[in-house]
Amino acid sequence: MYRVIISIGLLVSISMGIRAQETVDFNTVNRESYGHYLTGQWDSLIVLGKKAIRQEMDFYYLRMRMGVAYYQEKNYRQAASQFKRALKFNQNEPAALEQLYYAHLMAGQTEQARLVRKQFKGKLALKLPPPEGKFADRINIEYLYGRSLTEDLLAEPDNLFEGLPPGIQYLPQHYSNISLSLVNSITPGFTLVHVYNYLSKINHLHYDDGTIQFEYPDQSVSQHQYYISPNITTRSGFTFMPMFHLLSMHYQTPVDLSTGFQGGSQVLIGVVDKSDFATGMNLRKGIGSLDLNLGAWYATLNEATQFQQRLGFTWYPLGNLNLYLGANLNSQYERSGMDRTTRYTPELNLGFAMAEKLWVDLKGARGEMVNYLENNGSIVFNSFSNVIREKVSLTLSVPVSEKGSLLYLGGRWSSNESHFYPEDPAQENTTNTIHYNNLSIYGGLSWKF
């Protein structure tokens, strides 16, 4: 028993001795951190700084030196965190404010950088004057062309729709979309995003209302869209993004059956006009190397109402834009007449710098994407009777100006389904599901003024 007590005492003494050796004092931390700063030993400076902070030793110059160390390592998000801590010791210190401004800017947090720059005073304000509002801060133009791989299916359309009761079914053939967007920079922390889209689409339409029955291989569909979203960013890293999206659709449909001069019949085609909308808000909060996302939207698409929610994150492991990974989960509750449907769609996103001037962005989603909203409701998948089951996209971006203008080119593959909609709701189990793939290419220019 006596030996056991002595052994325990020796272990405690050794442990206390090790802890005493690990403890650092203010003078040591100040001297060594300054030495690492002068010699550019950034990793050693960060290790020393973390050790001092764990022992509740914290002061202005330590945070400034750690911020510079992270900045030199291109971990701009951590650098910004350190400069914010430094400002808590010395509020409105010009050196810390300037460093914080550049850290936000390099991290891609443009509006937070503008909010910091707004605080500049004296010589710093003369060097970097407060940012002014711009009617055109950024302009984007994009063109997309998509084609469904349905040629073999439509070679004998009678076989596709044989034996079906009265109803309708669409099978997309090809489509194109032009997108124009404008970003107004009103004041630091407040921007206004406008987007206009024009979609032109050709479908194969199977139509049977019990009286008129025919195949229309070139049904034309067009859609005009206007989207607006004010973006409000706070100094603490919150960004609020309410939105409103108006869609105006025009599509061909049979309206009458006429008798010809010499007998026979002819289907008269008319155009139907309708409007839908979507509204909601997305909230983003930056926390260190993470951006947290939370969104909720309401829409009235295709004579149904949708409630969609989104929860996810984007992680920047290097603290910069050279690598990021994102994951989101979307839930959608839809009401159509007496029917109630709940759908879940996970999304994944990976982006990285492949070279100094080449960025790659990969996105994928899987679920039941119908009447589905993306990108805070600026993208709407509202093709009637068609469902996207899986989709994958690849985008390559190249900077073309020092201010951040980009030229990009991309492609998307999707696995789709076309469903039959019977005239009689009692026959709703007749779906006649047709599986097909879709390929699209897109490209555009995003110009920063």
CATH number at residue 415: 2.40.160.60
74, 99, 127 - which closes a domain: 127
62, 93, 127 - which closes a domain: 127
Shared-domain flag, residues 154 and 267: yes
Residues of the chain with pLDDT under 50: 1-21
CA distances in angstroms from 107 to 142, 289, 323, 407, listed in the order given: 25, 10, 11, 20
Shared-domain flag, residues 360 and 399: yes
- Give the three-class secondary structure for 11: helix
Please list, in sequence order, all residues whose beta carbon lies within 8 angstroms of the beta carbon of residue 48, skipping any fewer than 6 positions away.
24, 29, 32, 33, 36
Shared-domain flag, residues 121 and 157: no
* DSSP line for 239-269: EEEEEEEEEEEEEEEEEEEEE-TTS-EEEEE
Give the Cα separation of 325 and 225 in Å (integer). 30
Shared-domain flag, residues 57 and 193: no
Please list, in sequence order, all residues whose beta carbon lies within 8 angstroms of the beta carbon of residue 415, skipping any fewer than 6 positions away.
388, 389, 390, 391, 435, 437
CATH number at residue 64: 1.25.40.10
Shared-domain flag, residues 93 and 198: no
The whole-number pLDDT of residue 158 equals 81
Structure tokens that stand for 154 in this block: 């439509």
The whole-number pLDDT of residue 1 equals 45
127, 153, 185 - which closes a domain: 127
Shared-domain flag, residues 92 and 241: no
In the chain, the number of structural domains is: 2
DSSP structural state of residue 129: P
One-letter amino acid at 11 equals L
Per residue in 318-369, pLDDT tens?
999 999 999 999 999 999 888 899 999 999 999 999 988 999 999 999 999 9
The whole-number pLDDT of residue 155 equals 87
Shared-domain flag, residues 119 and 142: no
The whole-number pLDDT of residue 156 equals 85
The whole-number pLDDT of residue 337 equals 84
Shared-domain flag, residues 120 and 235: no
Shared-domain flag, residues 224 and 304: yes
Range of the domain at 17: 2-127
Query: Does residue 381 contact residue 347 with C-beta atoms inside 8 Å?
Result: no
Share in percent of the chain as helix, strand, coil (round to 5): 25, 55, 20
How does the average pLDDT of the chain come out, rounded? 91
Shared-domain flag, residues 143 and 213: yes
Shared-domain flag, residues 179 and 81: no
The pair phi, psi for residue 228, each rounded to 5°, is -135, 140
Shared-domain flag, residues 227 and 366: yes
Give the Cα separation of 69 and 43 in Å (integer). 7
